[in-house]
Every structure is written in C-alpha cells, then in structure tokens.
Amino acid sequence: MENIKGKVIIITGASSGIGAATAKKLAGEGAAVVLGARRTERLEELVSTIRQNGGEAVSKKTDVTSAREVQELVDTAVERYHRVDVLFNNAGLMPLSYLRDLKIDEWERMIDVNIKGVLYGIAAVLPIMRKQKSGQIINTASVAGHVVSPGGAVYSATKFAVRAISEGLRKEESPDSLIRVTSISPGAVLTELPSTITDPQLKQNIIDREKFHGISAEDIANAVAYAVSQPDGVAVNEVLVRPTTQIN
C-alpha cells in the first residue's frame, strides 16, 4: 500500500478490536503508531508485538473523556515524531438500552466518549495539521449512524453526530488546510463492543447477530488502510462496510 509508510498515526481505543487491528495493520505497512486507551497492559502488549515484527509504536494511557489526556497523547506523538499525519478517532462504547429504561448514566457515557472524545481528538490535532497544511482525521461512526434501531437511539445519536462533525470539519478544513476527513461506518464486527451492554436481552441479540454475521476487526483495519493509503489529493470521505449478509 502506498502513502502509509513513514506516517505518524495516532489511534484512540487501540487496546482491543478495531483499534488494535488497525494499529497492527498500519504499523505493518510502515507507519509509526501512537496508541491510546485506558487498559495499559493491553497497549504495552500490542506495542511489544508491533516492535517484535519490526514496526514502530509507542503507547500512552488515555481516557478520551479527558481533553487533557487526549492532548497528552497527541503531545507524545509530536515529541517523539515531530508531526501528526493521521488521527484515528476510534474509541467508543455501545451500551444499548431502551429509552424507557432511563439509563441516563449510560447515555452520558456514550455522549462523553463517542462525541466529546472525538471532539477532543480534533481539538488536539487541528492546530498541528492546519500548520502542516496536511493531515487526515478519521472518525468512527457506524451503520448505526445511518439507521436507527429500537434500543439504539442514543448510540445512533452519537454516531449521527460523528458523521455531522466529520462533514462540518471537511467543509471547513479540506479546501484550504488540505486536511482529509474520513468517516468510517462499520456494520457488525466481532469485537468486545457488546461487553458494555447491561440490558441482557439486547446484549444477547447483538452477540447472536455478531456470531452470525460478524466480520473481523482486520476487515475494518483494511478499510482504514485504504483511506490512509490514497494519494494526498484524494480524500475518501465516507466508508460503510457491512458483512455481506447484514441487512440493516
């Protein structure tokens, strides 16, 4: 793949699933990856696997609900590699529930991580990328950012928001700052994502759906790598990847 080698790529939520798979993929293509999440042992294990395979990686404990910690993750990249080429805003959670169950704490958590976490990432890299007059911000939406299902109102709201923020960012920054903006919308992917669902029936439905349809985190990593690998003048703005058999 062209145009990945040598890039400095920050990934949030890199301790499992799509983030971890993307870190391995991009490091394997020659990028230096800067990995953030809360579970440091997982991050350290991933960094050591990448290095054993000849790749370049560093990690920093990052809770994306803290603007300061997200800034420190970006500072780590700049101190070590002196630039930021790509931010993959991937951290997210999906505690599905029916609105009538009033799981307000879970609504707030999704808003904090899935929306505010993405905004903190944008805030931390935007001044750098504007100055560089180059860069790419990849935000993780979802098929749930295109369609709404019962039990998914708030999760979908956060992912619709991610798409709106991505589109606004593209229109504001791409023409002059030459920053490429990508919104990636995965369908059912086999990861740890259902682990935050506290409604037993909704949790089982998702686990069953993912067992039946689920594609791998590596399949999404390939889509991210495709978007990163395009020539600088080509911006892949929207990517929607479903398992072939998934309807909604």
Ligand X SMILES: NC(=O)c1ccc[n+]([C@@H]2O[C@H](COP(=O)([O-])OP(=O)(O)OC[C@H]3O[C@@H](n4cnc5c(N)ncnc54)[C@H](OP(=O)(O)O)[C@@H]3O)[C@@H](O)[C@H]2O)c1
Nearest to 167 by CA among 118, 117, 133: 118
Q: Find out whether 33 and 12 touch, Cβ atoms under 8 Å.
A: no
Residue 192, interface with ligand X (CB under 6 A)?
A: yes
- Least Cβ distance, residue 158 to ligand X (angstroms): 8
111 φ, ψ (degrees, to nearest 5): -65, -40
Residue 68, interface with ligand X (CB under 6 A)?
A: no
Query: Contacts with ligand X in 97-136 (CB under 6 A)?
Result: 113
Residue 221, interface with ligand X (CB under 6 A)?
A: no
Q: Find out whether 242 and 212 touch, Cβ atoms under 8 Å.
A: no
Residue 63, interface with ligand X (CB under 6 A)?
A: yes
Residue 191, interface with ligand X (CB under 6 A)?
A: yes
Hey, what are 182's tokens? 């990508």
Mention every residue, 6+ apart, whose C-beta is less than 8 A from residue 61.
36, 37, 38, 40, 43, 69
Identify the residue among 193, 202, 236, 241 touching ligand X (CB under 6 A): 193
Identify the residue among 59, 76, 90, 166 touching ligand X (CB under 6 A): 90
Residue 95, interface with ligand X (CB under 6 A)?
A: no
d(CA 138, CA 230): 13
Mention every residue, 6+ apart, whose C-beta is less than 8 A from residue 175.
none
Residue number, 76 or 140, with CB nearest to ligand X: 140
Hey, what are 36's tokens? 């953030």
155 labelled catalytic: yes
Residue 57, interface with ligand X (CB under 6 A)?
A: no
- Least Cβ distance, residue 100 to ligand X (angstroms): 23
Stretch that binds ligand X, among 91-99, 146-154, 224-232, 239-247 (CB under 6 A): 91-99
d(CA 161, CA 168): 10
- Least Cβ distance, residue 231 to ligand X (angstroms): 26
Residues carrying an active site annotation: 155
